[in-house]
């Protein structure tokens, strides 16, 4: 059974305090691993897609990495506006559409000024 587990459930940081969020996955054939940001009462906002182990992608203060079993979202020198829930999701190979994703439960990030 495909599973996605994110840790920690919640993370509180001081502004400028770098850290990482973890996403562990078990999937029968990975088609892509997705990171999204979700603000309260809003739909998820696309951040990254990673396809193969060793791949890395960056966007501003965020950097996503992928291994065969997990992905990390590194946040460098976070700011209060980075506070949100970060969702990890996997799409599996063999399906007719990559968009049928299995989501983790999310990590609630709070960055204090």
State the residues that interact with another protein by CB under 8 A: 32, 34, 36, 41-46, 49, 87, 89, 97-106, 108
Cα–Cα distance between 37 and 47 in angstroms, integer? Answer: 7
Q: Phi and psi at residue 81, in whole multiples of 5°?
A: -70, -5
Of residues 40 and 54, the one with the C-beta less far from another protein: 40
Reported as type and span, the H/E element at residue 56 is strand 56-59
Contact 44, 104 (CB under 8 A): no
Cα–Cα distance between 91 and 74 in angstroms, integer? Answer: 21
Provide the minimum distance between the beta carbon of 74 and another protein in the complex, in angstroms, as a whole number.
Answer: 21
Provide the minimum distance between the beta carbon of 43 and another protein in the complex, in angstroms, as a whole number.
Answer: 4
Provide the minimum distance between the beta carbon of 106 and another protein in the complex, in angstroms, as a whole number.
Answer: 6
Of residues 14 and 96, the one with the C-beta less far from another protein: 96
Of residues 67 and 105, the one with the C-beta less far from another protein: 105
Which residue do the tokens 């906002």 mark?
A: 45
Contact 64, 47 (CB under 8 A): yes
Provide the minimum distance between the beta carbon of 40 and another protein in the complex, in angstroms, as a whole number.
Answer: 10
Of residues 78 and 91, the one with the C-beta less far from another protein: 91
């Amino acid at each position: 059974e495909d599973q996605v587990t994110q840790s920690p459930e919640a993370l509180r940081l001081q502004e400028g305090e770098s850290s990482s969020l973890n996403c562990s996955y078990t999937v029968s054939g990975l088609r892509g691993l997705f990171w999204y940001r979700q603000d309260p009462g809003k739909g998820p906002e696309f951040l990254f897609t990673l396809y193969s182990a060793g791949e890395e992608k960056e966007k501003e203060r965020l950097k996503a990495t992928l291994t065969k079993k997990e992905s990390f979202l590194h946040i460098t020198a976070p700011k209060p506006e980075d506070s949100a829930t970060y969702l990890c999701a996997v799409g599996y190979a063999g399906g007719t559409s990559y968009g049928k994703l299995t989501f983790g439960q999310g990590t609630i990030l709070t960055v204090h000024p």
